[in-house]
């Protein structure tokens, strides 16, 4: 599948002239003049739910700065099993390996929630990664945060129960969705968690019976967020703290704090 492409720089153009600011936190942290300079290298795209941005071992041609879209990085085993190792929303970038000097991605990047993103060619990003540039400093800080997220996600997959992990995933998607309901079929949840669909169905039924979530025709809604957090493992809170710290540290990273 391919992304639906908008006008190059269309979302950012109003931002640089005092309109709606970028919705991606990395891009929004740039000064207006810095963002305006890279604007011609960005284009707004709409990503569809279920769209594959990269397959494992595929060369990265573009990186994505999600706005409303949410993307999962997924590891696959030889026997076909899969597991999510990190979810990327408006705080970050999909295609971080380019920043780290890589050319290909070891993981599959799969869109979980549809929405907008700003896209840049890998070649243009390499050009922007000059030593000490604001974008380089921002991505260095994000890389440290995302490595902590990956580590915690792997630990979660090994040590926590299915219901805890289902709760964590639903809380994460609800955080990004910004709406009462979001599309997340149970088969997709099972693939992300690397478990059988029957286990996800049982966990979701239990959470629904307690009035914590609603589920109908593939749409999920979180009804009691605070109580659902209590049913989740500590990984959800840990990951949210990592991203909160990343955001609060941005002025210092850029030498403004």
Any idea what the Cα angle at residue 16 is, between residues 19 and 18, rounded to 5°?
35
Q: How far apart are CA 15 and CA 232, in angstroms?
A: 37
State residue 20's pLDDT score.
61
Confidence band for 89, pLDDT divided at 50, 70 and 90 = very high
* Dihedral sign for Cα atoms in the order 147, 72, 126, 106: positive
**Which tops the pLDDT comparison, 131 or 232?**
232
State residue 178's pLDDT score.
82
State residue 5's pLDDT score.
45
pLDDT (tens digit per residue) in 6-22: 444 444 434 333 456 79
State residue 18's pLDDT score.
40
State residue 163's pLDDT score.
98
| pLDDT above 90 as % of the chain | 85
The residues near 79 (Cβ < 8 Å, ≥ 6 apart) are none
**Domain ranges (residues) in the chain:** 4-134, 161-232
CATH class of domain segment(s) 161-232: mainly alpha
Q: Which residue has the tokens 């704090």?
A: 257
Contact 113, 176 (CB under 8 A): yes
* Dihedral sign for Cα atoms in the order 186, 187, 190, 195: positive
Any idea what the Cα angle at residue 52 is, between residues 14 and 80, rounded to 5°?
155
Contact 200, 215 (CB under 8 A): no
- Tokens for 3, please give them: 């992304």
pTM: 0.91
State residue 184's pLDDT score.
93
- Tokens for 185, please give them: 């079929």
State residue 257's pLDDT score.
66
Confidence band for 131, pLDDT divided at 50, 70 and 90 = confident
What's the chain look like in SS3? CCCEEEEECHHHHHHHCCCCCCCCHHHHCCCHHHHHHHHHHCEEEEECCCCEEECCCCECCEEEEECCCEEEEEEECCCCCEEEEEEECCCCCECHHHHCCCCECCCEEEEEECEEEEEEEHHHHHHHCCCCCHHHHHHHHHHHHHHHHHHHHHHHHHHCCHHHHHHHHHHHHHHHHCCCCEECCHHHHHHHHCCCHHHHHHHHHHHHHCCCEEEECCEEEECCHHHHHHHCCHHHHHHHHHHHHHHHCHHHHCCCC
**Which tops the pLDDT comparison, 14 or 141?**
141
**Which tops the pLDDT comparison, 4 or 256?**
256
pLDDT (tens digit per residue) in 152-181: 999 999 999 999 999 999 999 999 998 779
Q: Which fold has domain 4-134?
A: Jelly Rolls (2.60.120)
- Tokens for 223, please give them: 């009804």
């Amino acid at each position: 599948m391919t992304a639906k492409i908008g006008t190059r720089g269309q979302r950012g153009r109003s931002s640089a002239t005092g309109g709606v600011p970028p919705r991606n936190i990395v891009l929004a942290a740039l000064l207006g003049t810095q963002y305006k300079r890279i604007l011609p290298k960005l284009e707004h795209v709409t990503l569809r739910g279920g769209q594959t941005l990269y397959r494992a071992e595929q060369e990265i041609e573009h990186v994505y700065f999600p706005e409303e879209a949410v993307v999962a990085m997924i590891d696959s085993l030889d026997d076909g099993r899969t597991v999510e190792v990190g979810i990327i929303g408006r705080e970050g970038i999909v295609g971080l390996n380019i920043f780290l000097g890589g050319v290909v991605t070891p993981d599959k990047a799969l869109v979980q929630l549809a929405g907008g993103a700003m896209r840049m060619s890998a070649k243009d990003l390499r050009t922007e990664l000059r030593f000490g540039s604001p974008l380089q400093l921002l991505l260095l800080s994000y890389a440290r945060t995302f490595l902590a997220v990956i580590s915690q996600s792997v630990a979660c997959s090994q040590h926590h129960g299915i219901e805890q992990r289902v709760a964590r995933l639903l809380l994460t998607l609800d955080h990004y969705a910004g709406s009462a309901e979001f599309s997340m079929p149970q088969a997709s949840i099972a693939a992300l968690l690397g478990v059988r669909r029957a286990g996800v169905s049982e966990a979701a039924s239990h959470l629904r019976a307690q009035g914590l979530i609603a589920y109908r025709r593939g749409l999920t809604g979180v009804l009691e967020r605070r109580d659902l957090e209590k049913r989740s493992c500590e990984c959800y809170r840990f990951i949210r703290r990592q991203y909160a710290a990343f955001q609060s540290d941005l002025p210092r990273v850029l030498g403004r704090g």
